[in-house]
Amino acid sequence: MSLLHTSNAARGQVWRDIFAAEAPEIEFTELTDAPDLGSVRYLAAWEPSTELIARLPALEVVFSVSAGVDQFDMATLPDHVRVVRMIEPGIAAGMVEYVSMAVLALHRDLIDYGVAQRAARWAPLKLVPAEARRIGVMGLGNLGQAVLRSLAAFGFPLSGWSRSPHSIAGVECHAGEAGLPGFLASTDILICLLPLTEDTRGILDRRTLSQLPRGASLVNVGRGGHLVDHDLLSLLDDGHLGGAVLDVTDPEPLPPDHRFWSHPRILLTPHIASTTSAESGARALIANIRRHVAGAPMDGEVARDRGY
């Protein structure tokens, strides 16, 4: 039973040691080991090439080394190959930390205070209590629900939107195209945690973002492809939106002349909101391979036709 890993070399060394110590029945290999590709049943990768997939006739499961799978070209994978995204505690913990930071920065007007600081203006703003700041999360999967649980402690009114209906304690849930306008109209800070699919690409455009109340803000920790850049810039420039915290862009990295770098109402970080922990990621992968061998459902398996 062989697993081929083709991603980060440093992570690979950690995984090799953990597999050897805790799962000796699973042969952990990398391309530098010159493995027998004909016997590889499992592949752990970020963006496997078409050429590599064609050299793996026994492949049964592709594991993403991250929480997303939009980087995979599903059309290049044989129909029988199952696709599984990474679910491990470090990803959720990092996302909760980052989104909490971003929401509190927007809630406590740090963008406005940054502008004032650069202009040497002492300009206190009226404090808005948490119970008067409405937070909305797009995407109610594992990460979205973890973020909502963490924000509940501050007393924010919480709502969520997803493609399919959900029921979450303490959260006003909306679903589908019909539920989107009401969700947006009642959101002061919008958090995007959607998977990137053909249906969600470009969803953060003028049509959507202009339905937010005037002065609302955006946190995008989904994918850069969700956002239409010039629409966000236009809405920030005309004052309809008050600010944005962006951890993802399209492309990554941005070209040096992109306006996101210098816009005074954007806080930009280089896709660091959450990363896979090498140690817990290895153990999550081992557990999933053992589930597959036992014929049990795997954590994080995606519906290939939906992309999530």
**Cα–chain center distance at 111:** 23
Rounded CA gap, 191 and 199, in Å? 18
Tokens of 120: 């040497």
Residue tagged active-site, from 107, 134, 174, 223: 223
Residue tagged active-site, from 271, 283, 290, 291: 271
Position 14, amino acid: V
Q: Catalytic residue at 223?
A: yes
Q: Catalytic residue at 306?
A: no
Scored b (16 or more CB within 10 A) or e, 227-255 reads bbbebbbebbeeebbbbbbbbbbeeeebe
Complete DSSP assignment for 106-164: HHTTHHHHHHHHHTT-----PPPPGGGS-EEEE--SHHHHHHHHHHHTTT--EEEEESS
- Which residues form the catalytic set? 223, 271
